[in-house]
Amino acid sequence: MMRATAIRPHRALAFALSFIAASGAAHAQLAGRPFIHDPATITESDGRYYTFGTRGGGLVSDDGWKWVEGPVRPGGGVAPDVIKLGDRYYVAYAVGGGGLNGGHASQIRIMWTRSLDPESPDFGYHDIGVVASTDGTELADAIDAAFLLAEGRLWLSYGTYFGSIRMVELDPDTAMPLPDSKPVDVAIDMEATAMMFRDGWYYLLGTHGTCCDGPNSTYNIRVGRSRTPTGPYVDNMGIPLLKGGGKLVANARGRGIGPGHFGLIDLGQGVQKFSMHYEADMDRGGRSVLAIAPLLWRDGWPVEGENIAAGTYEIESERSGRALQLATDFVRIDFDARRSFMAKPDTVVPPVPDQSLKEDSADWPDGKIAADLGDYMVRPHQLWTVTPVPEKGGWFGAPCYRITIAGTQRALAAGPASAVSTVPAYDGSDDQLWQIDQLADGSYRIRPAKAADKSLALVAIGASTPVLVPFDPESDSGRWRFRHR
């Protein structure tokens, strides 16, 4: 389960803004310079978001969309993780191991600071010691640490393909091992683990496959679950993780190859995402980059979701099943019911063409037109073209979007006093930019991207009225389905 201020990432996606706009890639790529390997839990500190990677480098972001080089973590080492406990940020990192200089002899060390911002008076790291180690001869490797705070107890998982993944309990007040805590073997054939807690289940996520070979890396993220943090963990087919099991969560997508290092991002209001790195971003020369994708839950298992791709859609209210549309007069399709219904079986009846935009729009007013909801009939005033506009920014792995009536420049816009309408032409102003985030059940939340009140979202009031009011994650009224035309 995610800590209140912690948001965990791990291994990359990509950017190339012009590529997104041209291709409509479902997985929006992160902006800036998101180059990192083995990223730690994304953690908020003093209003900004931080992650750290192997060899001490890190990234920082104001919005989870644009990432640039951040403060350097001391200590070096590999595959860190971060958790906030009280007023301290604890960082776990490995020195040695991984088959590198020290073979598989390694230590996981802990340090803390009261701020991750080097400009803060509370910034300053304090090394407090070793929480786990391996001697190089035992079948384990003390690297790739990951924290979980759940049900008042603090856990650390660690390990690689060399031997087993281990779990050890730490003191939540100090992040040091409890006096009687002993490491427990919980999985094999994985590395770069992470943990979640949800609905009474502990989830152990790990990276299978091979790393560090660019576009030839076979990394993929898999999961097992248990009712207790020390296992036994099994996958959806009942195969124990101690026998190499694991249900697939994420694999290669589009131009991103080799996802690994899962990290939960709990953004509140029912929105969960996860971070990872891609071993190779093909649009960035095969470099390892940070990535963020929606996190869905199906039958009690986490799965990778999708950002909305460029395309034309019916936008359907989960509350009523009715479609978002222009509030215009209904235009009938010319149709001879008698010719159709009374035709003999062998009579050739020509197809009925779809209503054209010209026919539907003949009497539309020139200025603003309100939006409402109606029964979906595949009419032009119910068809919306959704286009990523990453140059306008984004939020945690998803770009801003413009939403226009298909075949026109008429754009959905946020108005005053919670109103939603359309304006004659999209001009890129803030009121015409939308954030679309996938929710855990696969539906989507639509909110004005630049609104000062971040709680506002497009919500169906009754069966026919869309308005902008605070989103309620417990209600279907603010959930939408995008149906491809």
Distance CA 53, CA 64 (A): 16
Question: If we measure between CA atoms, which residue out of 63, 64, 23, 13 comes closest to residue 388?
Answer: 23
Of 38, 235, 372, 437, catalytic: 38
Question: If we measure between CA atoms, which residue out of 51, 62, 30, 39 comes closest to residue 398?
Answer: 30
CB 450 within 8 A of CB 417: no
Any long-range contacts for 453-459 (C-beta under 8 Å, 24+ apart)? 455/269, 456/418, 458/420
Number of helices and strands in the chain (H, E): 3, 35
Distance CA 61, CA 48 (A): 6
Q: Which two tokens stand for residue 179?
A: 């006096």
**What are the CA-CA distances from residue 454 to residues 124, 389, 403, 422, 447 (Å)?**
32, 19, 19, 21, 8
**Would you call 430 helix, strand, or coil by DSSP?**
helix
Please confirm, yes or no, whether 169 is among the known catalytic residues: no
**What are the CA-CA distances from residue 160 to residues 94, 211, 264, 350 (Å)?**
12, 12, 20, 65
CA angle 449, 452, 457 (to 5 degrees): 50
What DSSP element (H or E) covers 203?
strand 201-208
Distance CA 326, CA 426 (A): 16
Please confirm, yes or no, whether 346 is among the known catalytic residues: no
Distance CA 81, CA 10 (A): 10
Cis status of the peptide bond prior to 240, with omega within 30 of 0: no
Distance CA 446, CA 421 (A): 14
Give the max Cα distance, the chain: 87
Of 141, 144, 169, 191, catalytic: 191
Residues identified as active-site:
38, 191
